[in-house]
Structure 1
Amino acid sequence: MEGYKFRLQKLLDIRLDKEEESKRNFKEAQRNKTLTEQKLLDLKEKQNKYTLGSSKETIVEQKIRRAFLDSVIRSIDEVSIDLNKKNQILEEKRVELKQKQIERKTVETLKDKQLKAFIKEQQLIEQKTNDEFALYGFIRNHEGR
């Protein structure tokens, strides 16, 4: 609207920037969690693949397979712990993003209310001007009679 200037526009811009940064952080945390989940699935597939040995394996091959499985199981445990941490980080980023959105929406609501008040005031001024013109026109038309 022409003539309207929101005094807190800089604050709104700052809050928009912070919200965008928070969105990027949330997406990054989501991506990290997804990668960790995929890594965990891959390790579990390896575990399932090598769990069953064949009857043709030698004792050395069985020991190697067993050592490999032990290593995979330890890796699964470590990745599971890492996944829990990433879930916690993701939840923190989600809460942070919600808070940033609330802060932005608060200022936007204030801006909308002020804009509506400004428009209403402008409409009242315009209506008053139109009423005065109508009154002057009425007076001019009736003075000539």
Structure 2
Amino acid sequence: MIRRHFVHAGEVFVSSEDIVISTILGPCVAVSVYDREAGLAGLTHFALPRPTENPENLLRYGAFAVPALLREMIRAGAVLARFETRIFGGASIHGITPEPTIGTRNVAIAEEELAKMHLAPRERHVLGTRPRKVTFEIKTGIASAVFVGAGS
């Protein structure tokens, strides 16, 4: 039986085990990273782009969570040049609102932090007005996102 792990906001999870990780996103964003050759994968889930005060958990912020994920992957034996990255989430779940929404800003910080390391997302399943569930199979690197909730 395959083990499962739910990644909460403010968490970075990296593994080489046969685990399916998942998370639920509204305006929050998840970034996944996969190094096929090393057999390593990871995911972070963050709530806001940057802190405004003295936060208790810096991993709740994309400006800290994305670099932390990349560092943890490298520390575990992955090689930056082989990273396959994906970005998920950033919905405006309260309908269309004036830009930039929290979701839009979260997607932007994820892209910005990846670009600092010369990484471009292989896939983007972002924005919109509905929450989504993301699943990521560590062993295969297969990631998927499906809309959940009303109108799904």
Does TM, scored on the shorter chain, surpass 0.5?
no
* More strand by percentage: 2
Q: What is the TM-score normalised by the length of structure 2?
A: 0.18
Which structure exhibits the higher relative contact order, with contacts defined as CA atoms closer than 8 Å and separated by 6 or more residues? 1
Q: TM-score, normalised by structure 1?
A: 0.18
Write 1 or 2 for the structure with the bigger share of helix: 1
Between structure 1 and structure 2, the one with the greater Rg is 1
